[in-house]
Structure 1
Amino acid sequence: MADELIFYTHPQSRGRIARWALEEVGAAYETQVVEYGTTMKGEDYLGINPMGKVPAIVHKGRVVTECAAICAYLAEAFPEAGLAPTAEERADYYRWLFFAAGPVEQAVTNNFAKFEPSADQGRMFGYGNYDLAVDVLEKAVSAHPYIAGDRFTAADIYVGSAVGWGTMFGTLPKRDAFLDYFSRLSSREAYQRAGAKDDALAAELEAAKAPA
């Protein structure tokens, strides 16, 4: 039943990552759109995610937030999709999933905000500096066709989204390794299907705002 899995999102948000994960697992789900500044900060949605951010999913009454957690959760909740790691893939799967969600996210957002940590601050911040985080990410996506080995897993959804958005919007450099990696991912049917759904939803929301 679709009402067993509810997806809270906005098409112009990181909800696109969760949408891709949902399309990859192939489970039926209900989409609930929450708007910036209104329903996203409303009492009902804050009861689901007190941060007032998207995405979030509710599966059989249990809430999951944070994109990396949603990707990992869906892979385990729907094992038939084959997105969870094998024993051989598990180390790289979790290592790079959380590297992208932690050090890379921090490095990219701080760099975008024009904050460059000193050497002392770099030790405290955990990612060192932007260039180091980017270099390590480049090596990670270059080691194998996919982030955990020779096949696509849920970790590629999150890491791939970080790489795809970063190279598209200029928060990551357009290095060949990044472009080659994301090219493999963006050709997937589930990625294209998710993007088409979010693009259509974005157009629908814009049309609704237009004066009559």
Structure 2
Amino acid sequence: MANVSGLIEGAMLIGGQSEGVAISVPHGRVVCKSSPINVVHSGYQGSVYGDVVISPEEMAGGDGEFYPTPDGGWISVTGYGSSIYAGNGVRASALGDESEVNLDYITQPAEGMRDISACHAFTSGYSSRINASENVKASMLVATGDQSTINAMDTTDNVAFVAGANSQVYLGSDSVLFAAQSPFFVLGENGAAAIAWHDGNRKRITVVYAGENGIEAGVDYYLDEHGQVVQA
């Protein structure tokens, strides 16, 4: 669960029981402490902080306190240059160009709250990013826009999908990459990739395994025009 110990300066707060909120303020920042979290932000350069919990000190209890929701909720931003900061179990989509989804803690989490799992992060705009911290595991990371980046280098057991041209994917251990076009990619220990390419007549798939056929974990690769793996 993403952890924010206090309100973000200048942000709007959504709390209590909520069936869903839509926001269109440019540059608007939103902190969600609602149950469930269900937010759409259509303003450009907006930010949504989702699945936000109170600080470890506040978690000792007290009337009127907010507590973590059992799931991460649903968050979508549609304006260009927008950001989502979210955690455990979130379903997050950033649809505008140059937007991003960040799966991470904002402040140091309390003991026993370190894992971020079962997330679904999606970007579709040009030059968009998914950033996953080392706590992220067992999650789906999907980028469909050209020149997108998935940065999950220190994570484990995740699945990444990329569809756009000239993308970059950095994965951690035991993770899998599926690509509709050849990206620049890095696999972690025991990682694997299935990458499509065109031989001039039809689509083909090259399958890559870290630790086999000279492919090393932590090294940048791409496919050449013959579908062969080449070190970048």
Is TM (by shorter chain) over 0.5? no
Q: Name the structure, 1 or 2, with higher relative contact order (CA <8 Å, separation 6+).
A: 1
* Structure with more helix by fraction: 1
Larger Rg, first or second structure (1 or 2)? 2
TM-score normalised by the chain length of structure 1: 0.25
Task: Normalising by structure 2, report the TM-score.
Answer: 0.23
- Which one has a larger percent strand, Structure 1 or Structure 2? 2
